[in-house]
Amino acid sequence: MAPKTAGSTPPDSPAQSQPSIQAVRKVTAQDVSASLKAGFSDFLARPVMSGFFGLFYAVFGILFVWCLVWLGKIWMIIPAAVGFPLVAPFAAAGLYEMSRRLQKGQSFGWSEILTVMANQRKREMGWMAFVTLFIFWVWIYQIRLWLAIILKDASFSNFDGFLNTIFFTPQGWTFLVIGTCAGAFLSTVLFSVTVVAMPMLLDRETDFVTAMLTSIRVVTESPLVMLSWAAIISVTMLLSLVPAFLGLILTLPILGHTTWHLYQKALPPAGE
């Protein structure tokens, strides 16, 4: 039987987790490269289980877009698809646990991983989910605001009309520039507060505020490397959306596993 860890057993009481200053390390390009190799290795070690999390995320994305079409919210399809990767860190919790167990040489099956994910609702991960979904909501709301201000006279009766307005009119170009800048800002904020926080909350007994502050410190200590990693994630995820979200079956697991290994390079082991 595998030993109990912070990832597999929730604390008896939230009050036991006290905020503390976490030490961080500088992250190098070599660390990112090594983490990518380790993440790909984890994927190959359990491709079916890893791919399941990517498939679940892809199917959810497809259903989300279908619902928007059914509801007649044509204008929301592109911003929702672009903003959809914002919630990927929370969706990768199972992948972090898989990498943690693979690294320790522990055996595991579906029940162990799904149980750990279910237990996160009793811990601080739920608050991080709230932060993630709140920023996603802000993204959708500000897109709706700019649509109303810039494209107030446009008609979006169908998807082709929406694309024509966005890509072939001056107002559409203005909307794209403003939306891209706003999206880049929100993505940077969310990346900064989650890149280390998500795996840290699964791995250690700490509160979500400490986890977010630690994550921000990791980014500010190695801004060029970490923001380059953020750009890699963004481009990879967006390209994965092109084939009807199906590219996420491969890319989400690899990026999730990689994030776990990068987290371990960014923070010294607990207790040091």
Q: What is the pLDDT of residues 61-81, one digit of tens each?
A: 888 888 887 877 777 777 777
Structural domain spans, the chain: 25-266
| Nearest CA-CA partner of 190 in 74, 88, 95, 258 | 88
DSSP character for 158? S
**Under 8 Å between Cβ of 219 and 192:** yes
| Identity at 143, one-letter amino acid code | I
pLDDT-derived band at 20, boundaries 50, 70, 90: low
- CA 221 vs. chain centroid, Å, equals 21
Is residue 196 within 8 A of residue 267, CB to CB? The reply is yes
Report the percentage of the chain scoring pLDDT > 70.
86
Residue 139, pLDDT score: 83
The answer to whether the CB of 238 falls within 8 A of the CB of 79 is no
The model's pTM is: 0.81
pLDDT in tens, 83-124: 766 677 767 888 999 999 999 998 899 988 888 877 776 677
CA atoms within 13 A on the CB side of 4: 5
What is the chain's alpha carbon radius of gyration, rounded to the nearest angstrom? Answer: 20
CA distance 136 to 80: 9
72 phi-psi bin (left φ>0, alpha ψ -120 to 50, beta other): left
